[in-house]
């Protein structure tokens, strides 16, 4: 009973945290990636990098190295939007279409498509370095999303971005973390960063039930930690694997310090909120 109660408390804490950041910091993703674009534009034009525009990126990178991809799992407004759209789609499919299993992209094609975000990141970096990215600014779906979140309708120049955002929303309806997995250039940056051992989820493979893939089946990005080290960077720190593991074999060293997973979640969210506000991410700051 206590485990069930603790799980429910953690679930509601996660919902509240994600709604809080969705409302207060909807442009955190766009602000961070803007710094990436400005950095490579400066490098391409052989100009000095303006450090004043880098603080958000430095903060996001530092936070990710310290605490893993907590931003992707709990903070990013695009991730929260994707989960909400996927949940709504599942409800419609079950109740109206009478489907027992929600439509989604099969695992193997999904894992191949995950490489697409690295190609997108590479192309954007090249366009910035060549100084021509501004010619495609109206194509950015996350810029359109950011404008909508501050109640500004995108103009005619954002038509391509609006179309791409609509296509992304359709994808979100049929695949968990569609944008995060396949299209997010900032996610590609985060997946390449080293994560301190203190914040990594470790799987005790020796104690796993033979043939059990509960963690992988419940993982929105189709990974089984420790199975392929090159793929572990895709982990978005949502901790769905820890919640579903029948033997509790997925361990985070930080849990030994704080004991309570909900407390860990609240501390990291509070730290992000404080530093995010100081770096100008909070729309009410």
Phi/psi at 195 (5° precision) = -115, 130
pLDDT > 90? residue 82: yes
Indicate the pLDDT class of residue 243, thresholds 50, 70 and 90: confident
pLDDT value at residue 264: 87
Instruction: State mean pLDDT over 122-132.
Output: 93
pLDDT, residue 178, reads: 95
**Can you give the C-alpha Rg of the chain in angstroms?**
19
The pLDDT of residue 258 is above 70: no
Query: Phi and psi of 251, rounded to 5°?
Result: -120, 140
Q: What pLDDT, on the 0 to 100 scale, is given for residue 3? A: 62
% of the chain surpassing 70 pLDDT: 96
Residues in the chain, overall count = 285
Q: Which residues contact 62 (CB under 8 A, 6 or more apart)?
A: none
Query: pLDDT by residue (tens digit) across 184-232?
Result: 999 999 999 998 888 888 888 888 888 888 888 889 998 888 777 778 8
pLDDT at 2 over 80: no
Give the closest residue to 75 by CA, choosing from 11, 26, 145, 141. 26
Can you name the residues that pair with 128 across neighbouring β-strands? none
**pLDDT at position 285 over 70:** no
Burial of 121 (0-12, 13-18, 19+ CB in 10 A): buried
148-161: pLDDT as tens digits: 888 888 888 899 99
Of all helices (H) and strands (E), which one includes residue 203?
Answer: strand 202-203
Neighbours of 278 (CB within 10 A): 12
Tell me how far apart the alpha carbons of residues 233 and 235 are, in angstroms, rounded to a whole number. Answer: 5
Maximum separation of any 2 CA atoms in the chain, in Å: 62
Phi/psi region, residue 46 (left: phi>0; alpha: psi -120 to 50; beta: rest), is: left
Name the average pLDDT for the chain.
Answer: 88
User: According to the model, what pLDDT value does residue 77 have?
Assistant: 93
**Domain positions in the chain:** 2-203+259-278
What interhelical angle do 77-95 and 141-149 show, nearest 10?
90
């Amino acid at each position: 009973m206590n485990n069930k109660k603790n799980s429910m408390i953690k679930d509601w804490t996660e919902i509240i945290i994600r709604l809080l950041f969705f409302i207060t910091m909807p442009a955190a993703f766009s602000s961070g990636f803007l710094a990436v674009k400005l950095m490579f534009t400066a490098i391409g034009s052989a100009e000095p990098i303006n450090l004043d525009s880098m603080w958000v990126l430095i903060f996001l990178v530092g936070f990710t190295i310290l605490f893993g991809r907590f931003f992707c799992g709990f903070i990013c407004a695009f991730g929260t939007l994707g989960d909400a759209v996927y949940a709504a789609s599942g409800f419609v499919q079950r109740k109206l279409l009478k489907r027992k299993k929600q439509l989604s992209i099969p695992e193997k094609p999904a894992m191949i498509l995950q490489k697409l975000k690295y190609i997108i990141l590479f192309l954007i970096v090249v366009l910035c370095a060549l100084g021509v990215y501004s010619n495609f600014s109206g194509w950015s779906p996350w810029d359109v999303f950011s404008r909508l979140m501050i109640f500004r309708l995108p103009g005619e120049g954002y038509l391509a971005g609006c179309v791409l955002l609509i296509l992304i929303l359709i994808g979100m309806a049929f695949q968990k973390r569609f944008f995060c997995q396949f299209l997010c250039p900032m996610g590609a940056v985060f997946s390449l960063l080293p994560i301190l051992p203190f914040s990594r989820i470790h799987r005790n493979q020796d104690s796993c039930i033979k043939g059990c893939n509960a963690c992988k089946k419940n993982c929105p990005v189709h990974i089984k930690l420790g199975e392929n080290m090159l793929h572990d960077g895709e982990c978005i720190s949502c901790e769905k694997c820890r919640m579903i593991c029948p033997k509790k074999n997925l361990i985070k060293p930080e849990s030994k310090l704080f004991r309570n997973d909900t407390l860990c979640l609240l501390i990291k969210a509070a730290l992000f909120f404080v530093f995010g506000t100081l770096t100008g991410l909070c729309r009410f700051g």
